[in-house]
Structure 1
Amino acid sequence: MRHLILGAAFAALLPFAAHAEGDAAAGEKAFAPCKACHAFGKNGAGPDLKGVVGRKAGSHEGFNYSDALKNSGLTWDEASLKEWITDPKKKVPGNKMMYAGIKDEKKVGDIIAYLGTQK
């Protein structure tokens, strides 16, 4: 029984461990320029990012994604988000996102941590 309880506790903490490298509060501030196109709870110039962590790329209903992103086979996890936020044109050539990327690794980690809080 003890192993079952420990296993359940470990599984519950996994989503938080995936974002241990970033600071969600700092990520909220670093995300500010992203708000020009992205929101949580509705599509804008960019897709709704509420619940993006764990979601299949190019799949949020009601947004017109590029074929490149729809066919990328990506699921947004920490690794794919890191590559995307750093250089979206390199990660998925042919996507239509008008954004050059963030090169500051700390800011990228913070943004990913913040995105992980937006369920």
Structure 2
Amino acid sequence: MPKPFDELRNVYDVLEHVRLRPGMFVSNGSLDELALVLSGYGLALQVHGVDEGFDLGQVGPFAQWLSWTHGWSMVRGWTAAIEENCGDVPPLEAFFRLLDEWRASLASDQEAVSGP
């Protein structure tokens, strides 16, 4: 069940809404439309001076991780890289699978740094 909008804490909460109800946010599972939503989110953070550590820009840490772990070119951003390499998997589904992998790798990196 999605949280009410006034209870969302960060971009990952917003993305959970997209995952649960993609048709409300992006038509036809378009990664380009998702990137526009995320760009607007990142811009709102800047305008309002919120330091959330937004990592999902077309050339940000998420894109770098995709390039390093999958060897994909990021010349046209992560949206194009996912679309070009997702095979038969719908691009939005591939995005969420990759996002989950990336977040899991961040969590394991954080655990390694902080120790048990």
Greater RCO (CA < 8 Å, at least 6 residues apart): 1
Q: Which structure shows the bigger proportion of residues in helix conformation?
A: 2
TM-score by length of structure 1 reads 0.27
TM-score by length of structure 2 reads 0.28
Answer with 1 or 2: which has the greater Rg: 1
